[in-house]
Amino acid sequence: MANDIFDKPFSLVGDATPEKMYQIDAMFEDIYRRLASTQQTVVQAFPEGQPVDVTRWKTGPWTYDGIVPSARVARLVHNLAAATEYADFAPEGIDTCVEIAVTPLGAGASISGIRHFGQISRKICIVNASGTESLTIPHEEATSTDIYRFNLPDSTDIVLAPYQVLWASYNPELHRWQLMVTPHSSGGLSGGGGVALYASRTFLEAELEAMTGATFCEVIPAIANTCIVPLDVVWDNDVTDAYTNAPTWVVHRNGGGGNGLITPLSLTYSTGPRRQVYRSAMVAGSDPLADFSGTNVGCTLAAALTGVGAATTTVHIWYGTFSTV
């Protein structure tokens, strides 16, 4: 029988090299997969679910699925409508997947519960695949069946910013999904142990020109029985045409007025991108417990921008928390 009737996927002629060894390994993996499928050694994680090859999870690398959409079993891809809450979330394949990659198509999308089978532990990864929209994971939202809900630290909703990821673990004793890693940088969790949390907000030209010093713009939502203490603040400006004034930015709590301010910083709204950083404690005489307890924290301009041009500003705040009970 002539050798040329065989369809060899790789050329293995020559001395062994790392690349050639990788090719040999890939070839044997392909053979193993073909044999496994004919001998039915591929296992099912759940009777109604799709078959999942678990062999590669024993030694690594921990890869799953391929580039062909029809082969995607462990990683689900799903779009979420704007301003829509997904209760008892259960797209096809939910019972066997390892990862859910969801893309919010507009603001206000949330997942309040994920269907889970039986009293058994499980790990699942939730990915916000959008590059522009956030995804909310609410705490104990009543619209989902109780055993499918999320029980979150500090009883506070989690907001996954664009491209952020969280790992969830199902607790069969509590009958709830819980987070595997805390805190999360998108906010909503207690920092603990000196860990600084982070929140940000982008202001468009119309908002900047409407601020008069009395306007409060929330950046960090309130956390019950918790004092929020701003630590570092960064302002990113992007200006098309320079403005004629340089109003002062202040950071304070809602209704706090002049109490507990981060030392004011006057920004220069000059043409082009510009970053200004303020790293400091609060002004002398501030009392964090009195000034920042039980309320949301935000910022404002001491005066509206004047002149011509267009501008956006993103305010980044790193903060710590401590309990007041």
Instruction: Give the CATH number for residue 284.
Output: 2.60.120
Which pLDDT score, from 0 to 100, does residue 132 have? Answer: 86
> Chain-centre distance of CA 256, in angstroms?
30
Residue 288 lies in a domain: yes
Q: 109 with 203, same domain?
A: no
Strand partners, 113: 149
Q: What is the DSSP string of 235-301?
A: EEEEESS-BS--PEEEEEETT-TTTTPBPPEE----SEEEEEEEE--BPTT--HHHHSBTS-EEEEE
Q: 147 with 221, same domain?
A: no
Burial category of 134 from C-beta neighbours within 10 Å (exposed 0-12, middle 13-18, buried 19 and up): middle
Q: 204 with 300, same domain?
A: yes
Boundary (domain end) residue, out of 150, 179, 208: 179
Q: Give the count of beta carbons closer than 10 Å to the beta carbon of residue 220.
A: 25
| Interatomic CA distance for residues 125 and 101, integer angstroms | 8
Boundary (domain end) residue, out of 179, 208, 233: 179
Residue 24 lies in a domain: no
Residue 5 lies in a domain: no
Residue 159 lies in a domain: yes
Q: 279 with 207, same domain?
A: yes
Which pLDDT score, from 0 to 100, does residue 48 have? Answer: 39
Which pLDDT score, from 0 to 100, does residue 180 have? Answer: 79
Boundary (domain end) residue, out of 149, 179, 209: 179
Residue 192 lies in a domain: no
Q: 175 with 55, same domain?
A: yes
Q: 215 with 166, same domain?
A: no
- Write the secondary structure of 56-96 as one string of H (helix), E (strand) and C (coil): HHCCCCCCCCCCCHHHCCCEEEEEECCCCEECCECCCCCCC
Instruction: Provide the residue-wise pLDDT of the chain in tens; the chain has 325 residues.
Output: 444 444 444 455 555 566 666 677 677 666 666 655 444 433 333 333 444 455 555 666 677 776 666 666 788 889 999 999 999 999 988 888 889 999 999 989 999 999 998 788 899 999 998 888 889 999 899 999 999 999 887 777 888 888 888 889 998 888 999 987 654 444 444 433 444 677 888 888 888 888 877 778 888 888 777 777 777 788 888 888 777 777 778 777 776 654 455 666 666 677 777 676 655 545 555 666 666 666 788 888 888 887 777 888 888 887 777 766 6
Which pLDDT score, from 0 to 100, does residue 12 have? Answer: 52
Which pLDDT score, from 0 to 100, does residue 41 have? Answer: 37
Reference 217, options 207, 226, 225, 209; nearest CA is 207
Q: 64 with 170, same domain?
A: yes
Residue 283 lies in a domain: yes
Domain limits for position 167 = 51-179
Quote the number of domains for the chain.
2
pTM score, whole prediction: 0.45
Q: 207 with 171, same domain?
A: no
Q: 55 with 164, same domain?
A: yes
| Interatomic CA distance for residues 173 and 70, integer angstroms | 36
Q: 96 with 153, same domain?
A: yes
Q: 166 with 227, same domain?
A: no
**Contact status, residue 196 vs residue 320, Cβ threshold 8 Å:** yes
| Interatomic CA distance for residues 78 and 111, integer angstroms | 12
The dihedral built from the CA positions of residue 15, 18, 20 and 24, taken in this order, carries a sign that is positive
Strand partners, 273: 238
Q: 139 with 212, same domain?
A: no
Residue 247 lies in a domain: yes
Q: Give the count of beta carbons closer than 10 Å to the beta carbon of residue 168.
A: 23
